[in-house]
Amino acid sequence: MAVRSVARTTPYLEKVAVEARYNDVDPVYAETRDIRLFGFVLFLLADCVLFGAFVFAYLYLRTAAPTWPPVVDGKQLPRLDVAFGAMNSIVLFGSGVTMHFALESWKHLKKLAFNFWLVATILLGIGFLAGQAHEYMSAQMTWQGSTFGASFFTLTGLHGFHVFAGVCFLTVLGIQANRGVYTGSKYFGLVAGTLYWHFVDVIWVLLFFLFYLW
Amino acid sequence: MTAELLERLIACIGSLLVGGTASWQLRNELPLHGLDAQVTKLLLGLMIVGCVLALLASLNVLGAFA
């Protein structure tokens, strides 16, 4: 009986707690939050267009080639290492999950958990970049040698740059969060960081399919 | 155990773990409203697709060219 009563009142208590948190919000922040969020989503869409241009260039080159990977100097280039690519992909996708946990921890005012998940995200991001560096060093093609190499290094390089920028972004967010820039009701930067990191993950889904699986 | 087998094993277990956790996170996001929640739902959904691709690749179902 008592358990049922608590279960019934818990959503109400949560609502009260959330409202209390939002009542002390800075009015300027409350007014501009949605506009800033919309602007950030537009930025992500613009980034989609950038990747889209390169992806369509790759599709054009690929469909125009008689064989894929193309033949260079009478020798067909080998395919990329699918097993390693899948493992590296999971490292990046795992970082998306940890970043989501970091944001949820912040929303629930658990600062220690937030720091733990944020550091895990940054480390996984660095791990992914290290995996990409290994892939570049072991690749049996060059940027100039073939259309396959050119498109692979350009697209994955552009993505790698985004991951690197994301790692820097998250590091700055972590420093700001620990210096008290964000509060329980004012944390737009953390939302933007999480959306950006998810976006980087999703771009990799497409690249992983195009270069490793197709 | 070869390096490739180890990579496939890590990818397989990792994709199940990450995909499962992302699905749980998506389930928690579903009742939420607002632009950030909607974009998060879309991106989490696509990330789950990525986990499925990685799982199939680790099991040699996709990308089996040899």
Residue B34 lies in a domain: yes
Contact flag B53-A96 (C-beta cutoff 8 Å): no
CA distance A6 to A211: 53
Q: Does domain A41-213 sit in CATH 1.20.1090.10?
A: no
CA distance B46 to A198: 9
Count of other CB atoms within 10 angstroms of residue A131:
17
What is the interface pTM, i.e. ipTM, of the complex? Answer: 0.92
pLDDT of residue A1: 47
pLDDT of residue A214: 85
Tell me which residue in A34, A90, A100 faces B11 most closely, judged by beta carbons.
A90
Residue B15 lies in a domain: no
Contact flag A100-B18 (C-beta cutoff 8 Å): no
CA distance A154 to B57: 23
Which of A32, A44, A97, A187 is most worth mutating to test chain B (most B CB atoms within 10 A of its CB)?
A: A97
Tens digit of pLDDT at every position of chain A (214 positions): 455 555 555 666 566 555 555 555 677 777 788 899 999 999 999 999 999 999 999 999 999 988 888 888 888 888 888 999 999 999 999 999 999 999 999 999 999 999 999 999 999 999 999 999 999 999 888 888 888 989 999 999 999 999 999 999 999 999 999 998 998 888 999 999 999 999 999 999 999 999 999 8
Q: Which helix (H) or strand (E) holds A27?
A: helix A27-64
Cis amide prior to A69 (ω within 30 degrees): yes
Q: Which helix (H) or strand (E) holds A71?
A: strand A71-72
pLDDT, tens digit (0-9, with 9 covering 90-100), for B18-60: 999 999 999 999 999 888 899 999 999 999 999 999 999 999 8
How far is the alpha carbon of B2 from chain A, nearest alpha carbon, in Å?
A: 12
Tell me which residue in A191, A198, A209 faces B47 most closely, judged by beta carbons.
A198
At which residue do the structure tokens 């608590």 appear?
A6
Please return the burial class of A21, using the count of CB atoms within 10 Å of its CB with bins 0-12, 13-18 and 19+.
middle
Do residues A171 and A12 touch, judged by C-beta distance below 8 A? no
Count of domains observed in chain B: 1
Residue B1 lies in a domain: no
Residue B36 lies in a domain: yes
CA distance A143 to A146: 7
Q: Which range of residues forms the domain containing residue B50?
A: 20-59
pTM of the model: 0.87
